[in-house]
Amino acid sequence: MKSGANPALSIVGQGQSATVPPIRTFSVEPDPSTDARIRLISQLAADRLRDLRDDGVSTAYIAQMYGVDPSTIQEMMSTITGIR
pLDDT in tens, 2-55: 566 666 666 555 555 668 888 877 777 878 888 899 989 988 988 998 899 899
pLDDT at 1 over 60: no
* Closest residue by Cα to residue 54 from 31, 37, 38, 77: 77
* Closest residue by Cα to residue 40 from 80, 84, 82: 80
Q: Give the CA count within 13 Å in the CB-facing half-sphere of 84.
A: 0
Burial call 9-19: b when 16+ CB within 10 Å, e when fewer: eeeeeeeeeee
- Write down the pTM of the prediction: 0.54
Residues sharing a CB contact under 8 Å with residue 76, sequence separation 6 or more, in sequence order: 45, 49
